[in-house]
Each structure stands twice: as C-alpha cells, then as structure tokens.
Amino acid sequence: METYNLASATKNIYNSGLNLFTLKTLRDILEIGKESTLFSVIRRLTENEVLIKIEKNKYALQNGRINDFALANFIYQPSYISFESALNFYGILSQFPYEVASTTSKKPQQKVFDDKIFSYIHLKKDLFWGYQKKEDFLIALPEKALLDQLYLASKGLRKADVDEYDFSLINFKMLRKYLNKYPQTRQFMGTVKNLRKYIKQ
C-alpha cells in the first residue's frame, strides 16, 4: 500500500469519530469492496499503530479513549453492564470489581483484552430488559442490576452481601415492580427477604 493511501486511510479512520470498529464499519469507512485489499489495509493500519486488534473482525483506535463499559458492549452482543460493575458505577457498591460484568441472552463468555477480564453471564430472554444508554454504553438501571445480582446469588453463581450496599440510591417502588417480573422461586425469594429491613414501605 502506498504511503499516500495509508495516510488517506488513517485520515478517514480519525475523521469517522469512532473508537471501535467492526470489519463492516471499516469497509464502509475505507470504501474498499475487495476483501483481500481490505484486510491488507487493515493489517497496515495495525502495523502502523493506528488500529489495535481486539479479536477477529473487531478493532479499536490505538490511541482512542475507550470506556471499558463501551468496550464490553462491543465485544459481545447483545449485552449490557450489570451485577457488581453496574452497582459500583452507581455507587451502590463501593468495592471495585475485578472484572467488567455484563449480562447476555446468549451463551456465557469470558474474554480478556488489555489485561482486563470481561465476563458475560447468561440470563434468559425474559429477563433481558431494564437497561439504559448511559454515555456510550448500555447499563442496567440500578434496581435491575441489584435484582440481577440477587437472582444469580440465589442460584449460587454470584455473591451478594447486602450489608455492603448503599440502598439510599435505590428506588424501592421500581425495585418492587421489577421484582414481580422475576421467577418467584423459593431460593430467589429467600434471598430477596434479606432486603426487607432496607426497603422503605
């Protein structure tokens, strides 16, 4: 690839205003139809530290300011930030989680990029709701993140020490509304009982 063309491609990448790219996005930005040419250009862009490869057909701007939550959404879809990660984001849980935890309606996955762990915990489609777009990522509402955490804790898949949570940041009317949409299993309702002393009637 000629230097001029590489410079032109780099300019198009930066002018796109994006930090994360799929193969399709790069094809559209670079306006390259031939697949072999596209991969050759992308290889040169990574060699010249314009792009960094995340995984197959997914790339990031080398010097871009990429939010870990936006990256989590991008790596595995559909997904939204939940559990400890969301609870910490909202200030409900002060302890900083060691992984970026998301829920997905697809198979569970764990991925590692840039020495960070991205975990994707499966929830059935009936429970894949209650999230919002915040900045440039999807994240569970506080009440949904809490119930996701408790639901998985009732199955022995997460930990939930409610004494560590700041419930002043929870909308209990919303919490009760959301709670009715979860399976009312004995294990889950037993876990939820621990909240009663915190819930404002």
d(CA 90, CA 165): 11
**CATH code of domain 3-61:** 1.10.10
Name the H helices within the chain. 3-15, 23-30, 35-47, 68-75, 83-89, 142-154, 172-179, 186-192
Kindly state the average pLDDT of the residues 134-157.
95
Condensed to tens digits (0 to 9), the pLDDT of residues 86-138 reads 999 999 999 888 999 999 999 999 999 989 999 999 999 999 999 999 989 99
pLDDT at position 194 = 79
Judge contact between 160 and 92, C-beta under 8 A: no
d(CA 130, CA 181): 11
**Residue 76 vs residue 163, higher pLDDT:** 76
What b/e string do you get for 51-87 counting C-beta neighbours within 10 Å, with b at 16 or more? bbebeeebbbbeeeebeebbbbbbbbeebbbbbbbbb
Kindly state the average pLDDT of the residues 148-156.
94
Whether 71 shows a pLDDT value over 60: the answer reads yes
Kindly state the average pLDDT of the residues 3-22.
87
pLDDT at position 199 = 66
pLDDT-derived band at 3 (thresholds 50, 70, 90) equals: very low
pLDDT at position 200 = 56
Domain ranges of the chain: 3-61, 68-195
pLDDT at position 116 = 94
11-20, 135-144, 184-193: the lowest-pLDDT one: 184-193
CA distances from 13 to 32, 47, 69, 123 (A): 13, 15, 22, 36
Condensed to tens digits (0 to 9), the pLDDT of residues 20-70 reads 999 999 999 998 888 888 999 999 999 999 999 999 999 999 988 889 999
pLDDT-derived band at 201 (thresholds 50, 70, 90) equals: very low
